[in-house]
Amino acid sequence: MKSRVQELAERVNMTYDEFIGEMRKKGCSEPTAIKIWNGDYENFNDYEDNNIQLSNLRKAAAVLAVRTGSLIPK
């Protein structure tokens, strides 16, 4: 099953490599960018659970040209 980030990336024809590259340009580590791509942040008790800070989700939203809230599954 695709993560929310993968669904949004598909809408703008962004590949995995492009997403990771853009996240790296914004100062996000590659392991964290991969976690975001895979949707590891979608199952959490708090944002420290998966070592993904809200600022990194904001970077992902900027890369995908969406609002941060769009990354949270419905």
Q: What is the pLDDT at residue 49?
A: 47
Q: In whole angstroms, give the CA distance from residue 43 to residue 12.
A: 24
Q: Which residue has the tokens 């993904």?
A: 52
How confident is the model over 5-58, as pLDDT tens digits? 999 999 999 999 999 999 999 999 999 999 999 998 877 666 554 557 888 999
pTM, two decimal places: 0.85
Q: What is the pLDDT at residue 51?
A: 58
One-letter amino acid of 15: T
pLDDT at 60 over 80: yes
Q: What is the pLDDT at residue 47?
A: 52
Q: What is the pLDDT at residue 48?
A: 55
